[in-house]
Amino acid sequence: MSDPVAAVDCGTNTIKLLVGDPAREPDGVRRESRMIRLGQGVDATGRLAPQALERAWAALDEYAALIRAAGVGPERIRFCATSATRDASNAAEFAAGVRARLGTDPEVLSGEEEARLAFDGAIRGLAAAAVEVRGPALVVDIGGGSTELILGDPETGPSVAHSMDIGSVRLHERHVRHDPLTREEIAAVVADVDAALDGCPVDPAAARSVLAVAGTNTTIAAGTLGLAAYDRALIHGRELAVADVQAQVQRLLAMSVAERRGLGWMHPGRADVIDAGALIVSRVLDRLSVASITVAETDILDGIAWSLVR
C-alpha cells in the first residue's frame, strides 16, 4: 500500500478532490466535488469574480481539513487548475489563496500533460472495472470552459490531443438568454461547437472505442440510463447507444432550468449550463463512426492522483 495522496482538479464549474490511495479504489479513496463556478463571467471580464473566489475558498477550507485528517503533507498534494486561473488578471490572488490553504501552488497543466493524465485516469478506471477498451480509443472530456479530445492506444497512451475553448459554462454564458433556450440560441451554440470541431486535429471517426468522462457526460449518462438518482457505481463502465444519448440530449434541451433541477440525477449547480454541454456532446457524437460509447467516472482527477504514486 502506498502513502496517501491528495489530488485536486479545479475546473471552470467544479472543484474535485481525491484523497487516499488510488490503488485501493474504492475503499482507499475519498472523493469530494463542489460546484463553485470559478469561471463565472471570466469569458466576458477576464477576471475571477469575487463571489467565485469566496466559493472556492469555502470548498478549499473543507478540502484542507480532509487532507490534514488523512495525514497527507504538502509534498503529496497536486492541485491542477484551469487556464483561467493563470490568464485572469487577478490570478495571483487565486494562487495566494490556494497556497495559504493547502501549502502548494496551483498548477496549470500543459496540453500534453492534461491529455496524458485524462487518458490515464479513464483507462485505469475502466480496467479496474474489467471493461475492455479497444484502440484507438477516444477520450471525450467536456468541462465548463473547454473540451478535450484525446485519441490514443490503451497500452501506450495518447497519440494526438486537442483542447478547444468550448465548454458548458463558457457557451451558455455567451449565447443563452432564455429559459428554455431558443432555436436561435441552439444554432449559435452549435455554430461555435462545429467551428471548433472543424479545426480540431483529432478525428472522432478514427476511434474504435469512445470514452465519455467528466460531469456533463456522466450526468447525461445518468438520464440516459433512467436512474432515479445519480449513482456513480451504476454509471461507471456502462455502454450507451449513441442514439439513446442523442435522445436524452433533446429531452434536456426542451426542459426549463427548473424542470432539470427536478430530475433526481441532476446536480442543481449543473442544471442551468447543461444545455450548452449537451449540445457539445451531441455534435461530437455526430462525428463518430461507432454506434455506442462507454462512460467512465474516472478522469483527469484520477490521473493526477496516479501521477503522485509513481
CA angle in degrees (0–180, nearest 5) for 289-295-298: 130
pTM, whole model, 2 decimals?
A: 0.91
- 38 is written with which cell numbers? 470559478
CA angle in degrees (0–180, nearest 5) for 202-208-214: 65
The pLDDT value recorded for residue 267 is 94
Q: Domains (ranges, CATH) in the chain?
A: 5-108 (3.30.420.40), 130-300 (3.30.420.150)
Q: Whole-angstrom Cα distance, residue 203 to residue 281?
A: 15
Residue 267: count other Cβ atoms within 10 Å of its Cβ.
18
Average pLDDT over residues 18-27: 83
- 296 is written with which cell numbers? 467512465
Pairing of strands 147-153, 239-241: unpaired
The 10 Å CB-count burial string (b at 16+, else e) for 227-265 is eeebeeeebbbbebebebbbebbeebbebebeebeebeb
The pLDDT value recorded for residue 27 is 66
Judge contact between 286 and 204, C-beta under 8 A.
no
Between the alpha carbon of residue 56 and those of residues 7, 136, 180, 271, the distances in Å are 16, 37, 29, 20
Q: What is the pLDDT of residues 183-222, one digit of tens each?
A: 999 999 999 999 999 999 999 999 999 999 999 999 999 9
- 51 is written with which cell numbers? 463571489
Length of the chain, please? 310
Q: Whole-angstrom Cα distance, residue 203 to residue 242?
A: 17
pLDDT at 1 exceeding the cut of 60: no
pLDDT at 310 exceeding the cut of 80: no
Q: Whole-angstrom Cα distance, residue 235 to residue 24?
A: 20
Proportion of the chain above pLDDT 90, given as a percent: 85
Q: Which residues contact 218 (CB under 8 A, 6 or more apart)?
A: 212, 232, 235, 295, 297
Judge contact between 166 and 277, C-beta under 8 A.
no
Average pLDDT over residues 282-305: 97
Q: What is the pLDDT of residues 124-146, one digit of tens each?
A: 999 999 999 999 999 999 998 88
Q: Whole-angstrom Cα distance, residue 236 to residue 247?
A: 20
Q: Whole-angstrom Cα distance, residue 30 to residue 120?
A: 19
Q: Whole-angstrom Cα distance, residue 39 to residue 55?
A: 11
Q: What is the pLDDT of residues 259-289, one digit of tens each?
A: 999 999 999 989 999 999 999 999 999 999 9
Cα atoms in the 13 Å half-sphere on the side-chain side of 188: 15
Q: Give the alpha-carbon dihedral of 281, 287, 288, 289, to 10 degrees.
A: 160
The pLDDT value recorded for residue 145 is 86
Secondary structure (3-state) at 114: helix
The pLDDT value recorded for residue 26 is 67
